[in-house]
Amino acid sequence: MSLASRVEQSTAFRRTARAGYAVSGLLHVLIGIIALSTAFGVAGRADQTGALRAIASVPAGFVLLWAMVVALLALALWRVANGFTVHETDLRKRWSRRLSEWGQAIGYLAIALLAAGVAVDGRAGGGAEAITAQLLAVPGGVVLIVAVGLAVLGGGIWFIVKGVLRRFLTDLKTPPTRVRPAIEAFGVFGHVAKGLALAVLGILIVVAAVTADPQRAGGLDQAFSALATLPFGAVLIGLVGVGFIAYGVYCGFRTRFANL
C-alpha cells in the first residue's frame, strides 16, 4: 500500500484533518466579525493574521494556536495524499483534480505557517506588501506577481460560481434532509462573499504589479478597504463580513460531512 493510501485510510489522521475544517471555519468567522467591526468604524485587521492575533490574545491562545497548526497541517497533508490517489481514467480530469487538491493543500499550509508565526512571536511575516516589493526587485517579478493576481482573481470567480451552482455539495457526504437547506444557504452565501473578496484582492495584486507600487497589494484587509471606497462601501463590507461568517458556519458543517 502506498504512503498516500495509508494516510487517507488512517482514522486518527482523518479526525485530525477534519479538525482543520473547524479551524478554517473559526478563522472565517473571526475575519467576518472583524470586517463587520470595521464597517462600523472600529479599527481591525480583517484577514487571517488579524484573526490569528485575536486568538493569541485570549487565555490559552498559545495552546489553541499550536493545536490549529497541527490540524491545518494534517488537512494539508491529507489533500496532498488525496491528489496522489485520484481515480480518474480521463487524464485531463485526473490532473485537474490533482492540481485542485494540491492547490488547497498549499492554502492550508500557508495558514498553518501564519498560525505558527503568530504562536512563536505574536506576528506573521512582513505582509503581502513586503513580499510584493521583494518580487518587484527581481527579474521577471512583475510577470510572477501578475500571474499570482490573476490566479487569485480566478479563484475568486471560481468561488462565486461554485456557490451559485452549489458545486460545494460535491465536497460533502449526503447530509440529513433536515440540515441540507441550512448547508446550502450558508454555503451559497459564504462562497459568493469569499469569492468577491478574493476577486478584489486579485485585482489589487495585478494593479500593484502594473504600477510597480507594492503598497497597492495586500491581504484580505486591503480588499475590504477597497470595497469601502465604493458607493455604499460600508454596506458591502457588512454583507461580505456576514458572508465570511456564513462560510465559517459552512466549514463547521464540512467538519462533520466532508468527504474524508
Q: Residue 95: which residues within 8 A CB-CB, separation 6 or more?
A: none
Give the phi and the psi of residue 138 in degrees, each rounded to 5: -105, 155
Query: Residue 153 pLDDT > 80, yes or no?
Result: yes
Please give the sequence-ordered ranges of beta strands (E in DSSP) within the chain, or none if there are none: none
SS3 at position 241: helix
SS3 at position 90: coil
Per-residue confidence band for 163, with pLDDT thresholds at 50, 70 and 90:
very high
| Structure confidence at residue 124 (pLDDT) | 55
Distance from C-alpha of 166 to C-alpha of 185, rounded to nearest angstrom:
10
Task: Tell me the percentage of the chain whose pLDDT exceeds 70.
Answer: 80
| Structure confidence at residue 4 (pLDDT) | 58
pTM score, two decimals? 0.80
Query: Residue 197 pLDDT > 70, yes or no?
Result: yes
| Structure confidence at residue 1 (pLDDT) | 46
Question: Is residue 61 packed enough to be buried (19+ CB in 10 Å), middle (13-18) or exposed (0-12)?
Answer: middle
| Structure confidence at residue 130 (pLDDT) | 60
DSSP-derived secondary structure letter, 172: B
SS3 at position 159: helix
| Structure confidence at residue 246 (pLDDT) | 95
Helix, strand, coil proportions of the chain in percent (round to 5)? 80, 0, 20
Distance from C-alpha of 34 to C-alpha of 225, rounded to nearest angstrom:
12
| Structure confidence at residue 5 (pLDDT) | 63
Cα 100 to the chain's mean position, in Å?
14
Query: Residue 177 pLDDT > 70, yes or no?
Result: yes
Mean pLDDT of 235-249: 89
Query: Residue 206 pLDDT > 80, yes or no?
Result: yes
- The listed range with the strongest mean pLDDT (12-21, 22-31, 182-191, 203-212) is 182-191
Distance from C-alpha of 204 to C-alpha of 72, rounded to nearest angstrom:
27
Q: Which three cell numbers stand for residue 8?
A: 487517507
Cβ contact 250:20 at 8 Å: no
| Structure confidence at residue 253 (pLDDT) | 92
Query: Residue 93 pLDDT > 50, yes or no?
Result: yes
Alpha-carbon Rg for the chain, nearest whole angstrom, is: 18
Over the chain, what is the mean pLDDT?
80
Distance from C-alpha of 203 to C-alpha of 127, rounded to nearest angstrom:
17
Residue 150 vs residue 259, higher pLDDT:
150
Please give the sequence-ordered ranges of beta strands (E in DSSP) within 188-231, or none if there are none: none
Per-residue confidence band for 205, with pLDDT thresholds at 50, 70 and 90:
confident
Per-residue confidence band for 157, with pLDDT thresholds at 50, 70 and 90:
very high
Residue 213 vs residue 14, higher pLDDT:
14
Q: Residue 234: which residues within 8 A CB-CB, separation 6 or more?
A: 39, 40, 228
Distance from C-alpha of 48 to C-alpha of 34, rounded to nearest angstrom:
10
Mean pLDDT of 29-54: 75
